């Protein structure tokens, strides 16, 4: 199915079969993401090296704070949130990372819904309402910490 041919009694070349599986799943292609919200969490996410391991590049960063506009963080220039629709209009960026205060989350998701974005990784505590063509994945950092806390306290 992958096009990789194994050798009797030896199996498959690990690198070759890994590359074939990634290709079959479509995970071998690089993706671009846009970050919305460049506060403490947003800055940390811009510096996160794990995205590169997954072939994801944060190409754009947007914020509403005029004091942040034009600043460069981890090689990405912070743009005015008002330019979000224009910058993402070409469709090359399919992912968005939402790291804004809860009070701004739905409004930002609505703005992203007007672009070709297909997925939003949401760090706010708001359950977003998005059109059916957009997938929203919520991230709550407190949940795994609470689970770990429960596990160590019950030992």
Residue-range domain boundaries for the chain? 27-153
Count Cβ atoms below 10 Å from residue 24 Cβ, excluding itself.
13
pLDDT at 66: 97
SS3 83: helix
Decide: helix, strand or coil at residue 60.
strand
Which fold does the domain 27-153 belong to in CATH?
Rossmann fold (3.40.50)
**CA-based torsion, 130, 136, 139, 140: positive or negative:** positive
pLDDT at 121: 98
Interior angle at CA 32, CA 81 and CA 67, nearest 5: 25
One pLDDT digit (tens) per residue for the chain, 155 residues? 666 676 777 777 777 767 666 666 665 667 899 999 999 999 999 999 999 988 899 999 999 999 999 999 999 999 999 999 999 999 999 999 999 999 999 999 999 999 999 999 999 999 999 999 999 999 998 999 999 998 998 77
Distant-in-sequence, close-in-space partners of 49: CB < 8 Å, separation ≥ 6:
none
């Amino acid at each position: 199915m992958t096009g990789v041919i194994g050798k009797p009694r030896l199996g498959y070349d690990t690198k070759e079969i890994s590359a074939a599986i990634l290709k079959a799943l479509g995970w071998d292609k690089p993706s671009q993401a846009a970050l919305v919200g460049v506060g403490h969490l947003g800055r940390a996410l811009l510096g996160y090296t794990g995205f590169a391991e997954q072939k994801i590049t944060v190409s754009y960063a947007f914020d509403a704070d005029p004091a942040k506009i034009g600043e460069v963080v981890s090689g990405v220039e912070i743009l005015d949130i008002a330019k979000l629709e224009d910058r993402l209009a070409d469709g090359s960026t399919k992912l968005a990372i939402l790291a804004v205060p809860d009070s701004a989350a739905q409004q930002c998701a609505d703005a992203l819904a007007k672009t070709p974005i297909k997925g939003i990784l949401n760090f706010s505590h708001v359950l977003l309402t998005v059109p059916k063509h957009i997938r929203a994945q919520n991230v709550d950092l407190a949940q795994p910490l609470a689970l770990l806390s429960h596990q160590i306290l019950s030992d």
